[in-house]
């Protein structure tokens, strides 16, 4: 997924509301309600959507993961694909049919907006509606529908027989769909048994089938609510939390769902409520310092202060995250359609200097795109020389080749290159550092262009700037999600317009191989083409998380981005004392 957008600070009244006692799902009021207040980084004021079929950025997925867990989920500590609303699954001998056994009688719920209680949604006869195989078929079919134009349908479509043919052009299929919904490889054997047939055997399919755009959806709620079906009064969810309030441009409040059965992988929530405020990173940090927020990501510009502060440093944590920060080119636009020029610019970037002197958060200089730790991704231990690294002498040699091919006498004769980024202090510092490296090592000056963060990724997707910053975080824990899903020539996420037939052939072969060592080697060869030979992008670093958490919060630390808030706990007495201080 593209790294989520950030949002402008809006003063809220939510901090008062979190002190109120909420009666949840028939459970009596508690003397000490456990409430976590955190934030979602936003610029622009609001989430675009929490509709699972339409969501596409990381900030939205934090909410959808808590409301609509899929048949599988990822363990937040290991990234491993584990059971979600399916208790287990099995695969046919030929690897093309997956059978998911759903946990029986998980109720559909919503929060009564008058009473504040979580209530089960009933059918016309007054009986509870439960999550069934047919709900999953409806959700997947809706996502793949060519009329909906889901931004993530292209990820799901290849892992359901006739999915691409039904979805059509949005999924790399025919302009006019050649299959109907009835042709999809989806079959409800009974209420709690779902069969999914694939067009070909793919070992990581369970990770795809559990993604947010494949989640169960309640057709009656969507049809009744229309475009407003995700508002609290209309929504239908079933996960460990339920949607109590969506104060647009301000925040979202989730409450524990007492009807969630609790499983080995998704337990019943310990806390009663999680309040997500929509704040930009600096505003989040300021609120944390003021004691009104319990956990935040640390802004890049505040890392040194936090690490050196005697008190804040004791609350600071650093860990891995399955994301890659990179610079993209418009591979189709002169002069960066020249591979020698792209390679010169990449070789001139001192990634170690960036993580040591600019980001300072333990990030790892990236020699290639797919983050080590993903299934079948190359690792630095196995492939220490893979990809591309800082080499100013080689960069100058590549620039000379580029100038010769372009018919130019010197770097000064190059047209002005535009280097765009979504406007925030963190990105600006990185972009400025890279600009200086290009000036020092190649004599190339670029024009920096700060763009509106609220529309940045949409603009990049529509018309990629000459050079631009971007990032990608894993949707599922496999290198296929980075290489096939993003840079295959037919991918809808391929903003740089990168195209290489040999690269395509390698990632296509790796996708269906059943030998993990073979897959890793194929991906290593593909990475060599993407980042070194063709230099279609410039990998900069592999992400880490840098977080602050109040001592009264007991929590887990996720490597996948989405936090498992159902596992968090609050020492309410210590929290009250802190806020009263």
Based on the domain organization, do 329 and 456 belong to the same domain?
Answer: yes
At 2, phi and psi to the nearest 5? -65, 145
DSSP 414: S
CATH of the domain at 76: 3.40.190.10
Least confident of 163-177, 254-268, 386-400, 454-468: 454-468
With 90 as the cut, is the pLDDT of residue 467 above it?
yes
314: helix, coil or strand? helix
Query: How much is the pLDDT for 18?
Result: 36
Q: Are 132 and 102 in contact (CB under 8 A)?
A: yes
Task: Give bridge partners of residue 470 from the DSSP assignment.
Answer: 326
Q: How many helices (H) and strands (E) does the chain have?
A: 19, 21
Strands (E) located in 346-487: 364-365, 417-422, 446-451, 467-473
Query: How much is the pLDDT for 513?
Result: 94
Half-sphere exposure of 550 (CA within 13 A, CB side): 28
Task: Look at residue 132 and tell me if it is in a domain.
Answer: yes
Domain assignment of residue 247, given as a range: 14-285
- C-alpha dist (Å) from residue 555 to 216, 241, 261, 266, 537: 28, 17, 21, 14, 36
Based on the domain organization, do 332 and 438 belong to the same domain?
Answer: yes
Query: How much is the pLDDT for 281?
Result: 87
Render pLDDT for 216-234 as a digit per residue (tens, 0 to 9). 999 999 999 999 999 999 9
Based on the domain organization, do 387 and 489 belong to the same domain?
Answer: yes
Based on the domain organization, do 362 and 420 belong to the same domain?
Answer: yes
Based on the domain organization, do 423 and 509 belong to the same domain?
Answer: yes
Query: How much is the pLDDT for 57?
Result: 83
With CA atoms as reference, report the closest residue to 82 among 90, 91, 73.
73
Higher pLDDT, 456 or 73: 73
At 530, phi and psi to the nearest 5? -65, -50
Q: Are 242 and 107 in contact (CB under 8 A)?
A: no
Based on the domain organization, do 348 and 443 belong to the same domain?
Answer: yes
Mean of pLDDT values over 139-161: 96
Query: How much is the pLDDT for 59?
Result: 87
Based on the domain organization, do 359 and 255 belong to the same domain?
Answer: no
DSSP 299: P
Percent of the chain's residues with pLDDT above 90:
85
Task: Give bridge partners of residue 446 from the DSSP assignment.
Answer: 417
With 90 as the cut, is the pLDDT of residue 571 above it?
yes
Q: How far is CA 95 from the centre of its chain?
A: 28
Least confident of 18-22, 38-42, 55-59, 319-323: 18-22
pLDDT confidence of 9, banded at 50, 70, 90?
very low
Cα(first)–Cα(last) distance of the chain, in Å? 40
Query: How much is the pLDDT for 1?
Result: 66
Higher pLDDT, 57 or 273: 273
72: helix, coil or strand? strand
Mean of pLDDT values over 500-528: 97
Task: Look at residue 59 and tell me if it is in a domain.
Answer: yes
Mean of pLDDT values over 257-283: 96
At 231, phi and psi to the nearest 5? -70, 150
Mean of pLDDT values over 426-448: 95
Task: Give bridge partners of residue 98 from the DSSP assignment.
Answer: 91, 196
Based on the domain organization, do 210 and 340 belong to the same domain?
Answer: no
User: At a CB cut-off of 8 Å and minimum separation 6, what does 455 contact?
Assistant: none
Task: Look at residue 299 and tell me if it is in a domain.
Answer: no
Based on the domain organization, do 174 and 228 belong to the same domain?
Answer: yes
Query: How much is the pLDDT for 31?
Result: 58
Half-sphere exposure of 565 (CA within 13 A, CB side): 31
Mean of pLDDT values over 307-329: 96
Task: Look at residue 217 and tell me if it is in a domain.
Answer: yes
Domain-terminating residue out of 260, 285, 310: 285
DSSP 378: -
Strands (E) located in 44-151: 72-74, 81-83, 86-91, 97-102, 109-111, 118-120
User: Cα–Cα distance between 265 and 267 in angstroms, integer?
Assistant: 6
Q: How many domains does the chain have?
A: 2
130: helix, coil or strand? strand
Task: Look at residue 230 and tell me if it is in a domain.
Answer: yes
Query: How much is the pLDDT for 43?
Result: 61
Q: How many Cβ atoms from other residues are within 10 Å of residue 581's Cβ? A: 6
With CA atoms as reference, report the closest residue to 53 among 61, 44, 42.
61
With 50 as the cut, is the pLDDT of residue 276 above it?
yes
88: helix, coil or strand? strand
CATH of the domain at 408: 3.10.105.10
Task: Look at residue 553 and tell me if it is in a domain.
Answer: no
pLDDT confidence of 460, banded at 50, 70, 90?
confident
Q: How far is CA 434 from the centre of its chain?
A: 25
Strands (E) located in 170-250: 186-190, 193-197, 241-247
As a whole number, the mean pLDDT across the chain is: 92
Q: Are 270 and 558 in contact (CB under 8 A)?
A: no
Q: How many Cβ atoms from other residues are within 10 Å of residue 78's Cβ? A: 12
Q: How far is CA 48 from the centre of its chain?
A: 14
Based on the domain organization, do 387 and 453 belong to the same domain?
Answer: yes
Task: Sort 394 into a burial class: Cβ within 10 Å, 0-12 / 13-18 / 19+.
Answer: middle
Task: Look at residue 580 and tell me if it is in a domain.
Answer: no
Based on the domain organization, do 396 and 505 belong to the same domain?
Answer: yes
Q: How many Cβ atoms from other residues are within 10 Å of residue 278's Cβ? A: 29
With 60 as the cut, is the pLDDT of residue 11 above it?
no
Render pLDDT for 345-378 as a digit per residue (tens, 0 to 9). 999 999 999 999 999 999 999 999 999 999 999 9
Task: Look at residue 300 and tell me if it is in a domain.
Answer: no
- C-alpha dist (Å) from residue 333 to 350, 397, 466: 25, 22, 7
DSSP 77: T
Domain-terminating residue out of 234, 266, 285: 285
pLDDT confidence of 44, banded at 50, 70, 90?
low
- Pairing verdict, β 417-422 and 446-451: parallel
404-431: buried (b, 16+ CB within 10 Å) or exposed (e) per residue?
eeeeeeebeebeebbbbbbbbebbbbbb
User: At a CB cut-off of 8 Å and minimum separation 6, what does 434 contact?
Assistant: 327, 349, 354, 419, 540
Render pLDDT for 54-81 as a digit per residue (tens, 0 to 9). 998 888 999 999 999 999 999 999 999 9
pLDDT confidence of 41, banded at 50, 70, 90?
confident
Based on the domain organization, do 521 and 469 belong to the same domain?
Answer: yes
Least confident of 37-51, 308-322, 362-376, 438-452: 37-51
Render pLDDT for 78-94 as a digit per residue (tens, 0 to 9). 999 999 999 999 999 99
């Amino acid at each position: 997924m593209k790294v989520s957008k950030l949002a402008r600070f809006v003063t809220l009244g939510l901090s008062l509301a979190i002190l109120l006692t909420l009666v949840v799902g028939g459970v009596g009021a508690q003397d000490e309600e456990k409430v976590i207040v955190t934030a979602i980084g936003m610029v622009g004021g609001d989430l675009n959507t929490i509709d699972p079929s339409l969501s596409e950025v990381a900030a939205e997925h934090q909410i959808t993961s808590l409301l609509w867990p899929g048949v599988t989920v990822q363990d937040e500590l290991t990234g491993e694909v584990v059971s979600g609303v399916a208790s287990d699954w099995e695969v046919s001998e030929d690897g093309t049919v997956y059978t998911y056994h759903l946990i029986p009688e998980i109720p559909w719920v919503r929060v009564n907006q008058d009473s504040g209680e979580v209530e089960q949604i009933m059918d016309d006869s007054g009986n509870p509606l439960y999550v069934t195989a047919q709900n999953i078929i409806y959700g997947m079919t809706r996502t793949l529908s060519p009329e909906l134009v889901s931004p993530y349908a292209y990820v799901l479509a290849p892992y359901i027989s006739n999915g691409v043919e039904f979805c059509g052009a949005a999924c790399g299929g025919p302009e006019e769909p050649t299959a109907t919904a009835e042709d999809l490889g989806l079959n409800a054997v009974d209420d709690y048994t779902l069969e999914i047939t694939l067009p070909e055997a793919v070992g990581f399919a369970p990770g795809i089938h559990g993604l947010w755009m494949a989640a169960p959806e309640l057709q009656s709620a969507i049809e009744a609510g229309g475009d407003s079906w995700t508002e609290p009064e209309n929504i239908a969810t079933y996960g460990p939390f339920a949607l109590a309030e969506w104060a647009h441009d301000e925040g979202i409040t989730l409450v524990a769902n007492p009807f969630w059965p609790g499983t080995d992988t998704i337990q019943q929530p310990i806390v009663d409520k999680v309040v997500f405020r929509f704040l930009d990173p600096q505003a989040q940090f300021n609120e944390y310092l003021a004691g009104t927020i319990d956990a935040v990501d640390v802004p890049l510009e505040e890392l040194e202060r936090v690490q050196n502060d005697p008190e804040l440093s004791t609350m600071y944590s650093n860990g891995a995250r399955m994301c890659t920060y990179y610079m993209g080119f418009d591979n189709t636009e002169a002069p960066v359609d020249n591979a020698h020029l792209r390679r010169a610019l990449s070789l001139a970037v001192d990634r170690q200097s960036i993580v040591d002197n600019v980001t300072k958060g333990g990030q790892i200089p990236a020699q290639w795109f797919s983050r080590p730790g993903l299934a079948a991704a190359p690792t630095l231990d196995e492939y220490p020389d893979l990809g591309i690294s800082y080499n100013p002498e080689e960069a100058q040699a590549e620039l000379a080749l580029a100038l010769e091919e372009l018919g130019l006498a010197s770097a000064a004769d190059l047209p002005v290159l535009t280097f765009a980024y979504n406007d925030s202090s963190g990105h600006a510092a990185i972009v400025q550092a890279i600009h200086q490296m290009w000036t020092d090592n190649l004599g190339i000056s670029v024009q920096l262009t700060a763009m509106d963060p609220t529309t940045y990724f949409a603009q990049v997707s529509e018309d990629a700037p000459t050079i631009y910053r971007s990032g990608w975080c894993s949707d599922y824990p496999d290198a296929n999600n980075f290489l096939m899903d993003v840079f295959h020539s037919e991918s809808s996420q391929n903003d740089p317009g990168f195209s290489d037939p040999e690269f395509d052939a390698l990632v296509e072969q790796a996708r269906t191989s059943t030998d993990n060592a073979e897959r890793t080697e194929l991906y290593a060869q593909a990475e060599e083409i993407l980042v070194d030979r063709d230099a279609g992008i410039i990998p900069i670093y592999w992400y880490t998380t840098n977080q602050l958490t109040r001592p009264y919060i007991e929590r887990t630390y996720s490597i996948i981005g989405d936090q498992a808030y159902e596992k968090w706990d609050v020492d309410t007495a210590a929290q009250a004392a802190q806020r009263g201080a």
